[in-house]
Amino acid sequence: MNANALRDARDYEEKQMPFVPEEERALFHLTGGTGWINDPNGFSYYKGEYHLFYQYHPYSTEWGPMHWGHAVTGDFIRWKRLPVALAPDTEADKDGCFSGSALEMPDGRHLLVYTGVTADRLEDGTPIFRQVQCVAFGDGVDYQKYEGNPVLDGQDVPESGSRIDFRDPRVWRDDDGMYRMVVGSRTAGGYGSVLMYESGDALHWRYVTAIDAGSRYGQMWECPDFFRLDGMQILTVCPQRMLPQGLEFHAGNNVMMLTGDYDRQTHRFTKQAVRAVDYGTDFYAPQTVETPDKRRVMIAWMQNWDTSHARPQNMHLFGEMTLPRELSVRNGRVVQNPVRELAAYRKDPAVYRNIPVGQETSLPGVNGRAIDLTVTVRPADTERVFRYFRIRVAKSDKYETCIRYKPETGTIRVDRTRSGFPYDIVNVRDFPIDPRGGEIRLRIILDRHSLELFVRDGEQAATFKIHTPQDADAVSFEAEGAEAIVDIEKYGLYFGQPQGV
């Protein structure tokens, strides 16, 4: 155990950051200082700012002993980096500070709840990470770990649960003054579950109930979040090792949203619907925060574990966060849209109305790699709907990423085969949408190395990493089989000065 792990990480980050080339970073998506990042952690509003921590291994672009990196923002777009907040430097977390969450205590301290891990072996020699829950208190920059850590360990897991896979506490404080949290776990039967605990002081916790468990969805549920949204109760979880289910869930790790009711007296959660949160290749471990004006904003790691080894060589950074998204309920469904604060960064509009589109065509002013582009498409003739409508972005002679809408089957396909990845990874995703006679609105946010697609004002979202050289910046439109009529609204996204995030 290295008692100086925090100081070392802070020093290392400061020394290395100047070597990270500016173009490796996104403009307005949060990246780590240097090295590797994964899950967002501790997304919280504290003393007038939004704090976001993240799983961080500054020393290489590979996952390693986890630290918590730290950044703050006033508007979800412009981030400021703060010194590393947690390092694996105590008995309870000597091999890593895994994911967790944060809140402001009534006495003004910032509470962090996280998973401490120790490398261990099962009797048969299989290596495992033993997982316990720990707390730390701080002032928004420096954090002291509670000397009584862990506050929960394997003994606190019910008989039917796993004493090894027990991680990612998500804490909140209820109106009755009690702290409650949900923790991701696995049942003895080998499928995912979410356990709830409560405490009067955030130090002494007791088991309440299993909020949900599901044999149909993977083997372990990571990174739960549990919150109310416009009268609905939402549980999001990340099941590991799933088999695909139609076009809703793909193989591997997924992010799943369970909507339903929650009885605060009995702590019973009754689920009514289960859906994917994002239909792209790169979206994992989301967390939400409630803003002072009562919006629910979600952020996620813009990656996928299975393809996280596939990245250009000689990079200084690996991993970035999604654009924060506002959640709301429309017609009984949760919708997600980029935070409204993004609008302040939009410049140079290029606006077109009622443009007939057939053969592949480009329009003056509609291009770029840091853009906010909304395309509304309808058939020119409702009796003869086009077979495909395609939008190609990040395009040159050699590269393109293609978004293809097929009304006949009610599907959208995003194909990043030619986006610059020199690896045989998943490059194509299809997902179902309601065809609605060929009309559709698509909003596309590009930020250097990513594409986030929002369908019909946020009814569905799909997120993709791309590794296309920045000079491939053309955008084109094409309707096959019959003409389409399109409205286009494009903005460049700009900052006064480089972000350094």
Among this protein's residues, is 201 annotated catalytic?
no
CB 236 within 8 Å of CB 224:
yes
Q: Tokens 């009562």: give the residue.
A: 294
Q: Alpha-carbon dihedral of residues 332, 333, 337, 341, nearest 10 degrees?
A: 30
* Nearest to ligand FRU of 77, 195 (CB atom): 195
Identify the residue among 53, 54, 98, 143 touching ligand FRU (CB under 6 A). Answer: 98
CB 420 within 8 Å of CB 467:
yes
* Nearest to ligand FRU of 168, 282 (CB atom): 168
Nearby residues of 164 by Cβ (< 8 Å), 6 or more positions away: 128, 129, 130, 131, 154
CB 406 within 8 Å of CB 413:
yes
If one counts every other C-beta atom within 10 angstroms of the C-beta of residue 317, the result is: 21
Identify the residue among 26, 151, 213, 223 touching ligand FRU (CB under 6 A). Answer: 223
DSSP symbol at 384: B
* Nearest to ligand FRU of 308, 401 (CB atom): 308
225 is a contact residue toward ligand FRU (CB under 6 A):
no
167 is a contact residue toward ligand FRU (CB under 6 A):
yes
187 is a contact residue toward ligand FRU (CB under 6 A):
no
Distance in Å, CB of 39 to ligand FRU, minimum: 5
* Nearest to ligand FRU of 51, 186 (CB atom): 186
Identify the residue among 99, 233, 287, 460 touching ligand FRU (CB under 6 A). Answer: 99
Q: Alpha-carbon dihedral of residues 49, 66, 127, 132, nearest 10 degrees?
A: -40
9 is a contact residue toward ligand FRU (CB under 6 A):
no
Q: Which of 8, 39, 174, 282 is catalytic?
A: 39
Distance in Å, CB of 88 to ligand FRU, minimum: 11
The alpha carbon of 367 is separated from its chain's Cα centroid by a whole number of angstroms, namely 26
Distance in Å, CB of 127 to ligand FRU, minimum: 15
222 is a contact residue toward ligand FRU (CB under 6 A):
yes
322 is a contact residue toward ligand FRU (CB under 6 A):
no
Cis peptide before 312 (omega within 30 of 0): no
* Nearest to ligand FRU of 69, 438 (CB atom): 69
CB 31 within 8 Å of CB 49:
no
Gap between the Cα atoms of 87 and 38, Å rounded: 15
* Nearest to ligand FRU of 305, 352 (CB atom): 305
Reading the block at residue 142, the tokens are 């420096």
Distance in Å, CB of 323 to ligand FRU, minimum: 19
Between the alpha carbon of residue 286 and those of residues 111, 187, 277, 321, 391, the distances in Å are 19, 22, 9, 9, 28
Distance in Å, CB of 431 to ligand FRU, minimum: 22
170 is a contact residue toward ligand FRU (CB under 6 A):
no
Identify the residue among 6, 285, 385, 451 touching ligand FRU (CB under 6 A). Answer: 285
478 is a contact residue toward ligand FRU (CB under 6 A):
no
Gap between the Cα atoms of 344 and 501, Å rounded: 19
199 is a contact residue toward ligand FRU (CB under 6 A):
no
Reading the block at residue 206, the tokens are 């007791």
Touching ligand FRU, residues 29-58 (CB under 6 A): 38-39, 55
194 is a contact residue toward ligand FRU (CB under 6 A):
no
Nearby residues of 307 by Cβ (< 8 Å), 6 or more positions away: 281, 282, 423, 425, 426
Identify the residue among 115, 133, 259, 427 touching ligand FRU (CB under 6 A). Answer: 115
Cα torsion angle, 402, 400, 76, 41, sign: positive
Question: What backbone torsions phi and psi does residue 466 show, to the nearest 5 degrees?
Answer: -130, 155
* Nearest to ligand FRU of 165, 400 (CB atom): 165
- As annotated, the active-site residues are 39
- Interface contacts to ligand FRU, rule CB under 6 A: 38-39, 55, 66, 98-99, 115, 167-168, 222-223, 284-285
